[in-house]
Structure 1
Amino acid sequence: MTKPRGVLIDLGNTIIRNVSIDFNEGIKVLYRHLKKRTLTYDELLFYATKLKETTLDMRTSDSIEVDFRKYLSYLINFLNLEIDTTVSKLEIEMAKAIDKTKVIPGAKEMLSYFINNGIIVMALSNSTFSNAAIKAKLRQHGLLKYLDFVIVSSNYLFRKPSPWLFEMGLKKLNIPRSDVWMIGNDYEADITGAKECGLFTVWYNALNEPDEKEVADINIQNYYELLHILKELG
């Protein structure tokens, strides 16, 4: 085992924890931005939820991503709504309202170690929200400055564990895969998916679950463990 030259790292519940996810809060934001309220909030929520059930809620059934901006554009056009802002700006505001997050302890220290040691870091995240929305969240938490690249599945059609998303990340990272580590919390999407692409894997396993398939190369419960391992490698 040698120190990596590049790292792919998941975001949600890997370096930022999802404290709460409330779709209704996002629809409240949309309702506030309507130029004319031709329907009630409850009516808007009804249609938004129905559309969500056949689009956003189906994202985990395969490795194809649904772009929230397209969902939002369809909803606005279907209901003949007029908004007082752009879809792109509205999506960023809705994403912030829907998904409340906080930084996982040790994540900043780990990312700082990578940067200070010349290790290139790319966030590789499954998200219906756009690259701009995810960057806004990372900036809010003071994390964006630690990342050389941010790749979000909504911009690239595929979700992890699809090899297409990993290969896109590797292509942009431009480092031999033998020198790249993947760090993530999702055993199937992050660890199994990365291993099938020939990557060294670090499972952020906060709940200390059993590695039944023995896929992870390193199994950690916190990032201080990983920092210790990295420092031992010299």
Structure 2
Amino acid sequence: MNYKAIIFDLDNTLLNYSASELKSMQQTVQTHGLIHHESFTWDSFWIHYSKINMYYWNERNKSGHNIYQILELSFQDTLKELRLDHSDSKLLANLYWDTFCNACDFEEHATDILSHLHGKYNLAIISNGIGQAQRCRLAVGKIEHYFDALVISDEVGYWKPDKEIFAEALKRLNIHHSEALFVGDSLNDDYFGALNAGIDFCYYNRMSNPIDTSIRPKFMIDSLNKISDFLASQ
């Protein structure tokens, strides 16, 4: 297959979302001074916050909450559960978001593969993220110039695995679905989204997790630099 475009997921595919989230939160509680409260413990805070934030994030489309509301509610409920003062929840939310939007941690080999592919293929991103953060982080990492299209869920109104967000990317790139390869780390969002859209899928199995035999990506890698080997074999 002669692909014309390589489309990437962003978080935990090109950028290490987990690392940026953790470091941004550690910086937030340190800058705010929350970490110095006598009853504050990082491990307890992070366990509670992660669970609560995931709930609000997963419910965002039903609730209609924007990212600032999601974060404020996440801080508020976490601090309440820990019996800490939650009056600064909005301040903490804003501080965290500003810190996170200026964080850019790359997955290993991400910049190398983008540099290698740039000029040979059209490059694009499809992300179930927030446009403000994704665009800022690409700018901080100085890689935004590699991409011919950025299709971000909160800007277009579709979320992976909905095939419509993939259709939007194909439209912007002016290519047929058979001419694109999509690279992502999520089987639920990325694999099934690409499958719904009829696009070949490369599973970036960054944690080398076992997968069900019913899952059949075009190919699977545990390192981004292996994309070049696959494309050269086509």
Relative to structure 1, the CA distance from residue 180 to residue 104 in structure 2 (aligned partners, 3 Å threshold; closer, same or farther) is same
| 1:212 is the counterpart of 2:217 | no
Relative to structure 1, the CA distance from residue 12 to residue 172 in structure 2 (aligned partners, 3 Å threshold; closer, same or farther) is same
Q: CA offsets, 1:47-83, max 9 Å, x none?
A: xx99x96x97344358778542676899xxxx9xxx9
Q: Which has the higher helix share?
A: 2
The amino acid of 1:152's aligned partner reads I
Relative to structure 1, the CA distance from residue 167 to residue 26 in structure 2 (aligned partners, 3 Å threshold; closer, same or farther) is farther
Relative to structure 1, the CA distance from residue 196 to residue 155 in structure 2 (aligned partners, 3 Å threshold; closer, same or farther) is same
Relative to structure 1, the CA distance from residue 25 to residue 67 in structure 2 (aligned partners, 3 Å threshold; closer, same or farther) is farther
| 1:93 is the counterpart of 2:60 | no
- Cα deviation for residue 116 of structure 1 reads 2.5
Cα distance in 1 for residues equivalent to 2:163 and 2:221: 24
Residue 15 of structure 1 is matched in structure 2 by: 14
SS in 1 for 2:98: helix
Structure 2: which 5+ residue stretches go unaligned? 33-47, 74-86
Q: CA offsets, 1:81-124, max 9 Å, x none?
A: xx9xxx9xx89625436xx541112112221222131x111111
Cα distance in 1 for residues equivalent to 2:227 and 2:70: 39
Pairing partner for 1:111 from 102, 111, 114: 114
Relative to structure 1, the CA distance from residue 3 to residue 138 in structure 2 (aligned partners, 3 Å threshold; closer, same or farther) is same
Identity %: 19
TM (normalized to structure 1)? 0.69
SS in 2 for 1:216: coil
Cα distance in 1 for residues equivalent to 2:65 and 2:27: 17
| 1:57 is the counterpart of 2:59 | no
Residue 169 of structure 2 is matched in structure 1 by: 169
| 1:193 is the counterpart of 2:196 | no
Relative to structure 1, the CA distance from residue 160 to residue 176 in structure 2 (aligned partners, 3 Å threshold; closer, same or farther) is same
Pairing partner for 1:102 from 91, 102, 105: 105
Answer with 19-28 or 221-230: which moved more. Answer: 19-28
The amino acid of 1:153's aligned partner reads S
Kindly indicate whether the alpha-carbon contact (under 8 Å) linking 1:203 and 1:220 is maintained by their aligned counterparts in 2.
yes
SS in 2 for 1:123: strand
The amino acid of 1:10's aligned partner reads D
| 1:121 is the counterpart of 2:126 | no
Please report the RMSD computed on the Cα atoms of aligned residues, expressed in angstroms. 3.6
- Cα deviation for residue 150 of structure 1 reads 1.3
SS in 1 for 2:126: strand
Relative to structure 1, the CA distance from residue 150 to residue 91 in structure 2 (aligned partners, 3 Å threshold; closer, same or farther) is farther
Residue 226 of structure 1 is matched in structure 2 by: 227
Give the length in aligned residue pairs: 201
The amino acid of 2:113's aligned partner reads M
TM (normalized to structure 2)? 0.69
Q: Which has the higher strand share?
A: 1
- Cα deviation for residue 174 of structure 1 reads 1.7
Q: CA offsets, 1:164-214, max 9 Å, x none?
A: 222222222221001011100001100111112100000001222324323
Relative to structure 1, the CA distance from residue 179 to residue 120 in structure 2 (aligned partners, 3 Å threshold; closer, same or farther) is same
